Structure 1
Amino acid sequence: MHSGHAEHLDEGPGHRPLSVLIGAGGTGGHIYPGLALADALRRADPRAVISFVGTDRGLETRLIPAAGYRLHTVDMIPFDAALGLRRYLLPAALLRSGLRCREILRAQGAQVAVGMGGYPSAPAIVGARLAGLPSVVHESNAVPGRANRFAARLTPNVALAFDRTREHLPAGLAAETVGMPLVGELAGLDRPALRPEARARLGVPRGARLVLVNGGSLGAARLTEAAVALAEHWRERADVRLLIKTGPAAFEAVRAAVAGSPVAEAVAYLDRMDLAYAAADLVVCRAGSATVAELATIGVPAVLVPYPYAPHDHQTHNARVLCDAGAGLLVPDAACTGEHLAAVLEPLLADPLRLAAMARACGPDTHAHAADRLAAAVLRTIGRSAAPAPHRTDESRRIA
């Protein structure tokens, strides 16, 4: 894959504007990388026509229109939920949604489709195959999901976020590692430079250590419960603070639980995830692929608690990308209690040299320019080359 910075199309005579359909939906872990790719394609060709396909059930209904891109919706059954009698409905649902995507591709005059993983992206790849158009599949996890395992059979163009994903691919399947596309303010974040402003904005007292408990866009009940218990455990301490991102469902209950706490604050969302990462000394989080890539790129030490019911246990494999490098510690979901977190976190918070070593071990180069590398791969499928241009990191995006 092409490495480097943002791209501008090297357009010869007769080139029409780039037109791309991106399949992405469900959770932020698929949507935000799709938006990062769309932004990179727009940098490559400011005239580009880019739209998304998803369902009407996921975060895409809010995030994609808010980012200024058109969203088409299809009715699709989740691959991992197609069990029992529902598995007999999956082929028909996939064909129906694939035919709908073929219509969208033709109406838009699209030249290529991209699937970012997750069940909403498979119809885009099927639609491209039915329309006779090239397509690209991006696998964001260390272990491929069912939707991408299927979609990869329909295209020779497979891109990976993590090199170790190759261990789980079918023999003979060619794939290239591009990294995980990140939205602009995270891809270019200078954590040390932003840290003083971030800590001031979040009200972190001078000399206090900040632990960010990040349950992701929808929240994580296990992490939230442990964080509430940890807040009580640390109630008498003046040298630590907890910022608990709950997701919308648990926010009111958690806010009530920590009301009056001298060490903890609950928020449903973080509009400025860059500020949270810059201010934090440690992050406690799930191990979704986007989160792992963000931590690696920004250089934030982490305690990772993989979601135990993720298909193929892919979050544990994602977590090991950081843990094997010395940038994180893995805590099994069943062990994630306030008491156990205290036992894990306290020695780390008391050892700034170890925290600094963990931050240095993160390996930022893999993902910082992944959006541009993936964009270059997409362009190559339609025979277009790209020329380097200065990387822009000023795109403003809500991180929820």
Structure 2
Amino acid sequence: MKIVVSGGGTGGHIYPALALIRTIKEKHPETSFLYIGTEKGLESKLVTRENIPFQAIDITGFKRAVSVENVKTVLRFLKGVRECKKMLRTFNPDAVIGTGGYVCGPVVYAAAKLGIPTVVHEQNSVPGLTNKFLSKYVDKVAVCFEEAASFFPKEKVVLTGNPRASEVVNATPSGVIEGFGLSAAKKTVLIFGGSRGARPINEAVVKAIPLLAKRDYQVLYITGEIHFDKVQQDIKAAGAPGNVAVAPFIHNMPQALVESDLVVSRAGATTLAELTALGIPSILIPSPYVTNNHQEKNARSLTEHGAAVKISEQDLSAETLIEQLDGILMKEEELQKMKKAAVGLGIKDASDRLHQLMMKLANSRS
């Protein structure tokens, strides 16, 4: 069996794709994969690290305002469709899945036009432009939030959840925290701003360093590669306390998560799938720069159940961050209450659900 996977731009689109690939490989070792992405996207690094065959196309996303650049995007899309048709004819897949990001547009559209069974996987509660467009052409739309179903043709929607949840649920402690010079005996906060980092979170954390230095808990902060040097310099200037460790990126995120007592992050769908799979309380800072403010709606699925608290970006400061950290980590009853609420919110068999959907479609072609 042969399957083409496409998804790019951010880890939120790529990690579910990789989790699905691992599940299918485990159950069907003979399956061949081709991943189509962009060279500029994070997928070019993450996918090749997994030794998955990778091919790139040149494509950009649409600007929401009227722009000459959108005309160029249409031309790139049409060129991308032609290139993808050639790749698909050569590889001859049994099914194609897009997990989000504008790169999926020409890949999945080309596959649908060639009569290859197609799926798009929507991780968020509010879908992006690419998946809305592709939903008209694909065979099935896999969703993670029931709220997303209303945006797609009813007969195509299947609730699968996020494959990343199935993958992280089996994670076990492996000394990741100690590897960064922190103590396994202390309560640990893992802070990250997504695969590319987030400047407002960086600024709040740096300003909070003098206060964090006085706390009994410790912090592992993942800055994002483009912010790392600046944050590291700022933290050194603030005294570089021993209970705060920083890193630009972490590849073994499931192990870091399972060793953490609390997470501070954006409200990306894949992150929330990981948190609920592991039952980890969180402080969520939704990004206001995403399509239709979908992170705000994603966060609501946790905050309404008591599994998380929210700080809006405009209210984020060193003081508000410390207030929330103290309110959870220094009150054991609150911490345990949030852990209990987080457990069970995710769909833990998401990989199996999506795998079964892909197999059904692929077998329909043979």
Query: TM-score, normalised on structure 1?
Result: 0.85
C-alpha deviation, 1:159, in angstroms: 0.4
Q: Find the residue that maps to 2:289 and give its secondary structure.
A: coil
Query: In 1, distance between residues paired with 2:115 and 2:65?
Result: 28
Q: 1:207 to 1:41 in 2, by over 3 A?
A: closer
Match of 1:8 in 2: none
Give yes or no for contact 2:34–2:54 (8 Å, CA) kept in 1: yes
Given candidates 366, 369, 376, the residue that maps to 2:356 is 376
Match of 2:163 in 1: 181
Q: Which structure has more RCO (C-alpha within 8 Å, separation ≥ 6)? A: 1
Deviation at 1:370, TM superposition (A): 1.2
Secondary structure of residue in 1 paired with 2:342: coil
User: What residue is the counterpart of 1:310 in the other structure?
Assistant: 290
Query: Partner residue of 2:144?
Result: 161
Q: Is the 8 A contact 2:165 2:348 kept in 1?
A: no
RMSD: 2.1
Q: How many residues align?
A: 362
The separation in 2 between residues aligned to 1:96 and 1:82, in whole angstroms, is 23
1:21-77 Cα shifts (integer Å, max 9, x gaps): 111111111111111111122223211111111111101111111111111111112
- Whether the 8 Å contact between 1:243 and 1:264 is mirrored in structure 2 is yes
Hey, what's the Cα distance between the residues in 2 that align with 1:183 and 1:102? Answer: 32
1:276 is matched with which residue: 251, 256, 261? Answer: 256
The answer as to 2:109 corresponding to 1:129 is no
1:24 and 2:7 matched:
yes
CA distance in 2, matches of 1:88, 1:302: 41
SS of the equivalent of 2:136 reads helix
CA distance in 2, matches of 1:149, 1:53: 20
Which residue does the alignment assign to 1:245?
Answer: 222
Q: C-alpha separation between the residues in 2 aligned to 1:164 and 1:134?
A: 25
Worse overlay, 259-268 or 100-109: 259-268
- Tell me what 2:25 maps to: 42
Q: Which amino acid aligns with 1:75?
A: D
Q: For 1:112 and 1:296, how far apart are their aligned partners in 2? A: 30
Q: Deviation digits for residues 80-121 of structure 1, max 9, x if unmatched? A: 567412223333322221221111111012111111111011
In structure 2, relative to structure 1, the CA distance for the partners of 1:384 and 1:359 (3 Å cut) is farther
SS at match of 2:321: helix
Preserved CA contact (<8 Å) 2:165 2:346: no
User: Could you list the runs of 5+ residues in structure 2 that have no partner in the other structure?
Assistant: none
How far, CA to CA, are the matches of 1:382 and 1:185 in structure 2?
A: 23
Unaligned stretches of 5+ in structure 1? 1-17, 386-400
Aligned to 2:73: 90
Is residue 307 of structure 2 the alignment partner of residue 327 of structure 1?
Answer: yes
**Cα distance change, pair 348–364 in 1 and its aligned pair in 2 (3 A):** same
1:232 aligns with 2:210: yes
Matched, 1:61 2:20: no
